[in-house]
Structures are given as C-alpha cells and as structure tokens.
Amino acid sequence: MGREDDYTIGPKADLTGANLHRADLSYADLSGADLSDANLTGAILTFANLTGANLTDANLTLANLTGANLTFANLTGANLTRAILSYATLTAGANLTGANLSYASLSGADLTDATLTGANLTGATLTGANLSGATLTGANLKGTKMRGATRPDGSIHE
C-alpha cells in the first residue's frame, strides 16, 4: 500500500490511514467513507461528496476542497492548515472540534450549525461565509478575516 491507486475509492470506503498525498479526488463520492488518520496533504477534493465521512485526525494541509460537501462530516482534530474550503458545505452537524484551520480559506463556505469548539482559525479567511448557529466556544479567531460573514447570531460582520 502507499500509492493512491492501491485503494478502493468510493462511498463507505475504508481509507483509514491511507496515503492520498496530492491525490486528485475531484468529484469523488466518498460519502460515509472512513478517512481517519489519512494523509490528504495537497489533495484535490474539489466538489467531492464527503457527506458523513470520518476525517478524524486526517491531514488535509494545503488540500483543495472548493465546493466540497462535508455535511455531517467528522473533522475532529483534522489538520486543515492553509486548506481551501471556499464555497464548501459544512452544515447540519459537521464537527470540526479541535480542528486546525489556520490560514485556511473558507470564503463563501456554509458552516450553518457546524461545531467549531476549540478550533484554531488563526488568520483564516471567512469572507462571506455563513456561520449561522455555529458553535465557536473556545475557538481561536485571531487575525480572522470575516467581512460580510454571517455570525452565529445571524448578524453580518462589517
């Protein structure tokens, strides 16, 4: 194992600890897949379906998840440093507890009702993102760019 083509990619796939470094998984259906502890550094997951996927402790540093669907996904402890999640959907119970989103781009992302408890969003860009109902208890928002973002209380950040 170790090469991306050694893995079966698809819904409910068991990719625990998989090395998918720089893999192109654009438009892939990984709904319900187990990607816990997977190495997705620099992976391209544009418009991928990750609904209900388990990405606990996965490394998504520099990954491109533009337009990806992460509804109900578990990203607890995931490393998303400098990842691109622009226009991604992380709603309805997406769990990013303790995730590292430092310097990530979440412009236009939908984080309605997402859990970001203790998440590190240092320097992240959330321009135009929707955080309605999101839980940000203990999250680090230092240096975060939020112009035009909808706050958890529904107000718009100027």
- pTM of the predicted model over 0.85: yes
- Taking the C-alpha atoms of residue 44 and residue 21, their distance in angstroms, rounded to an integer, is 9
- Taking only the tens of pLDDT, the chain with its 158 residues reads 344 456 889 999 999 999 999 999 999 999 999 999 999 999 999 999 999 999 999 999 999 999 999 999 999 999 999 999 999 999 988 999 999 999 999 999 999 999 999 999 999 999 999 999 999 999 999 999 999 999 999 999 87
